[in-house]
Chain A
Amino acid sequence: MVLVDIQNLRVQFHIGRDVVYALRGISMQIERGTRTAIVGESGSGKTVTATSMLRLLPPTARITEGRILFQGTDLLALDENELRRIRGSKICMVFQNAAAALNPLYPVGQQIADVYHHHNGGSKREAWQRAVEVLAATGIPHPEVRARNYPFEYSGGMAQRAMIAMALVCSPQLLIADEPTSGLDVTIQVQVLDLIQDVVERLNATLVLISHDISLVSAICNRVIVMYAGTVMEAGTAGQVLEHPANPYTIRLLECFAGTDGEEMPYIPGRVPDLREQWQGCCFAGRCPRAQDICWRESPALRQVEPGHYSSCHFS
């Protein structure tokens, strides 16, 4: 059953006199119960996709086309009140820089309790207890003490756990985690990822994990969507995309992450195209080793390569 259906979404940012075309007509479907990774590098549009789902875009953004259907309802057509009912209770988001996403003026436990109270009512004491419970569930030691601490007293990894706890307390159907491990030590990253997997299983929720690290997400996700320059390049199960990728960008990207046995480290020469421009043809044409004339003239559509596996390339 399809939980989220994004159809031909186009998002622009108006910064000063420039227009940045961040999303250029992307479409994707998230099935219920799956753990989907949206993978991409800088400028790919992965974070914009996630924030669009919750309509949390900054005022400089304009959604010029497309629909985001959540359980059949178009999120883009809802008003603020209806959205607020969905945010936090049905869809929850864990942000990148946890310490910055928490309000520095209030104790962490209180922030979690407030969220619980807002969606479930009940007494303040109940809400507090629940807050302590979820903090414990995310592996934070001495949760009763920690609940009374302020965000600045938390380390990076702990702040991430607190954010996950906040998501946990709402029992959402969809959990979106936007680069939840960036800025954390690598040995802590694995812990946080395991925790997310744990939480999602417990809640029986659907996970959308945004990351730039394709090898990291393969550990816990069963579907992978690869984005580049505001376009979806490839989508499929983790096995399909990681083991026999169909899109040249994915192939090159995986090479960079996995490494080769040679002396030189693989890389993709060139740079991401300027998102303020609009172009004909494939966004990867300038850097693709297999680019031909048609790649510059015509933009490839997302086509099925094998059941459940899609690629946007003229030659896959």
Chain B
Amino acid sequence: MTADVVLSIQNAVKVFTMRRRSLKRVSMTAVDDVSLIVRRGETVGLVGESGSGKSTLGRAILRLLDLDGGKILFEGQEIQGLSEREFRPLRTKLQMVFQNPATSFNPAMTIGQTLVDAMCLSRHLTLKQKEQRALALLDQMELDERFVALYPYEMSGGQLQRVALARALAPGPDFIFLDEPTAALDMSIRGQIINLLLSLQRQSSLSFIFVSHDLRVIRYIAHYVYVMYLGQIVEAGPKHAVFETPRHPYTRALLAATLIGQAERGEMRRTGMLAGEVIQRTPDFAGCKLYGRCRYATERCAHEPQALRTVAPDHWVRCWRAEELAQSGWPAESGAAKEELPTGSQQTAV
């Protein structure tokens, strides 16, 4: 089933320059040549930790910031070059759910007012109609009608995130970018949001990009998974492929970290760990960005830029050792003289 493509990102680049104390300009590539597609009625899981660039990508899609390079096509139309005025009518089709329910609502407005405000572009609706729609949306989110008169501080995080979903649905979008929508919620209530999203998607063929570092949630919601590290996509493929046969060391590390406690991952945990912290690279660094943390790294990894390549139909990996390591069963020790890594003591900043 190849549904048509709703959103296509081609070679997106975003660089932030910051002036440090030493007056030297330091630039950080937040998004480094990222391409991805989202099909109608499907969810793309965007996985990565801090610094991976996933939130920046979302803001670029929603035109909250502009890319420095590359294209974003929504239903075939290029949107990254449009002015705010040209883009505004499209905003009803592209919506976003933010991570932190505590700060994503205007504390001076009631939930009802916020929902009506979310329909500010739907000029064909009267105020009464907007209010009716707001009540209907709350009902769909399994929230009692009376919430419409409450202020955000009077509601719990789980309830607010459902309102956030209602707010994103209010203008009638085709695509929603969800930036870690369940990260601030207790594990025992995440399922409610996830299941709501799944049923919405079935009913209305909505397309989502769901960002999370928690693979437990991605497992339910995503059809296709892109794993990002320091602005690059390091692995991409259908969900089952990425979860069952991960090919990139970083993906394995994420799986090992978030799926601890499950018996079959015990082995992966020992061999999957990364050393040290994220190492930001200067633009002149040509090797793999995971070098210095990856236990399978060799000298080649430090100098040779890695490209995204297929290891199986529709399964892409950015690592030249992917097949070799998979065949040898991801040994605890590998060719490069990296011994069993103690807890992060081999951090070498480049």
A215-B260 in contact given A41-B188, A267-B189, A267-B195 (Cβ < 8 Å): yes
The reply to whether B277 and A265 form a contact with Cβ atoms under 8 Å apart is no
Residues of chain A contacted by B49 (CB below 8 angstroms): 185-187
- The answer for the CA separation of A163 and B257 in the assembled complex, in Å, is 22
A157, B276: Cα distance in complex, Å? 9
- A191–B261 Cα distance when bound, in Å, is 16
Q: Restricting to B329-350, which residues have a CB under 8 Å from any CB of A?
A: 342-348
Let me know if B213 is at the binding interface, CB within 8 A. Answer: yes
Establish whether residues A269 and B257, one from each chain, have CB atoms under 8 Å apart when the complex forms: no
* A259-B254 contact in complex given A185-B278, A212-B186, C-beta closer than 8 Å: no
> Is B269 engaged at the interface, CB distance under 8 Å to the other chain?
yes
Identify which of A13-21, A113-121, A170-178, A249-257 touches chain B: A249-257
A213 to B158, CA, bound (A): 17
The stretch among B33-41, B82-90, B214-222 that forms the contact with chain A is B214-222
Give which listed residue, B198, B220, B257, contacts A259 with CB less than 8 A.
Answer: B220
CB pair B348–A141 under 8 Å, yes or no, is yes
Chain A contributes a number of interface residues (CB within 8 A of B) equal to 42
B192 at the A/B interface (Cβ < 8 Å)?
yes
- Determine if B260 and A216 form an interchain contact, defined as CB atoms under 8 angstroms apart: yes
Does A129 interact with chain B (Cβ within 8 Å)?
no
Which residues of chain A are near B158, meaning CB under 8 Å? 271
Chain A contacts with B in 246-294, Cβ cutoff 8 A: 252-253, 256-259, 263-269, 271-272
Q: Is B262 an interface residue (CB 8 A)?
A: yes
Note all chain A residues with C-beta closer than 8 A to B113.
Answer: none
A213 surroundings in chain B (CB, below 8 A): 187
When distances are taken between beta carbons in the complex, the residues of chain A under 8 Å from B11 are none
CB distance from A285 to the nearest CB of B (A): 16
* Min CB gap A117→B, angstroms: 26
Q: How many residues of B contact A (CB 8 A)?
A: 44
Residues of B within 8 A of A259 (CB): 216, 219-220
**Which residue in chain B gives the minimum CB-CB distance to A268?**
B188
User: Which B residues touch A263, using CB under 8 A?
Assistant: 198, 220
Is the pair B195, A264 in contact by a Cβ cutoff of 8 Å? yes
Which residues of A have CB within 8 Å of B220?
A: 259, 263-265
List the A residue with the shortest CB-CB distance to B345: A139
**What does the 1/0 interface line of A116-138 toward B look like (CB < 8 Å)?**
00000000000000000000001
Within 8 Å of chain B (Cβ to Cβ): is A219?
Answer: yes
- Which of A161, A186, A258 has the most CB atoms of chain B within a 10 A radius of its CB? A186
A215: which B residues are within 8 A, CB to CB?
260-262
B282 CB within 8 Å of chain A: no
Q: Does A204 contact B (CB under 8 A)?
A: no
State in angstroms the CA–CA spacing of A264 and B217 once bound together.
11
**Which residue of B is nearest A266, CB measured?**
B191
- Tell me if A29 counts as interface (CB < 8 A to partner B): no
CB closest chain-B residue, reference A214: B261
A residues less than 8 Å from B156 (CB atoms): 271-272
Measured CB to CB, the closest approach of chain A to B289, in angstroms, equals: 14
Contacts of B262 in A (CB 8 A): 215, 258
The 3 tightest CB contacts between A and B, nearest first, are A267-B191, A215-B261, A265-B191
Given contact pairs A157-B344, A158-B277, A264-B220, enumerate 4 new A-B contacts (beta carbons under 8 Å). Answer: A186-B257, A189-B257, A258-B261, A268-B189
Cβ contacts A to B, 7 pairs, < 8 Å: A185-B50, A187-B253, A215-B260, A252-B188, A253-B188, A256-B190, A267-B192
